[in-house]
Structure 1
Amino acid sequence: MTWVYLFLAGIFEVVWSCTMKISNGFSHFWWTVITFIGMTISFGLLSLSLKHLPLSLAYPIWTGIGAIGSIVIGVMFFGDKLSVLTWFFVALLIVGIIGIKLTGGH
């Protein structure tokens, strides 16, 4: 269940980062509310995962899920444009997250 908590925490990190963008600097009330709800859920789930996972494993995976998810959402829904070289580094990020998971010992 610990890994489920961590994965969901990463998903909610994507939620709050995207809704923070939509809130336009916290100037749209309901998007701001959703942002803070997403933050609360994300941090809460991360906290639950940290009961059983070391910080050095959980935190980079959490931020990696959030980073990769935000990149994908940015490209798909916000019109972000990434160069081929940037996609290469995104792929390295994915490989790094998988490597951390596989070698983290949990």
Structure 2
Amino acid sequence: HRALIGTGFPFKTEHLLEEHSAQLVRVLGASGGVRRGGAAALDLCYLAEGRFDAFWELFLNPWDFAAGWVIVEEAGGVMGRVEGGALALSPGTVIGANSPSMKEALHALIG
């Protein structure tokens, strides 16, 4: 099946909108679709549940993703930073997926 990807648009970070738009075009062309729910924690729960195959966002505060991060990893998913490296409890980019290979595939598209 073609992957269903979740994302969120930058909030109060208009300088990221052009970058996110370019990423969105690439992901739309290579996936089964992109969904924007508006709440990163809920989107990450959808990833953990299997509704989404992967998720990315260019800027989130820890309170936006911390609970979802735990839930994704407890469900067997993987999380990190869009620019590479481990996810930390600090503001920044977030990428997650149902498997390491899916995370790498999304990373290659948005990189």
Classify the TM-score, shorter chain: 0.3 to 0.5
Structure with more of its chain in strand, by fraction: 2
The higher radius of gyration belongs to 1
Structure with more of its chain in helix, by fraction: 1
- TM-score normalised by length of structure 2: 0.33
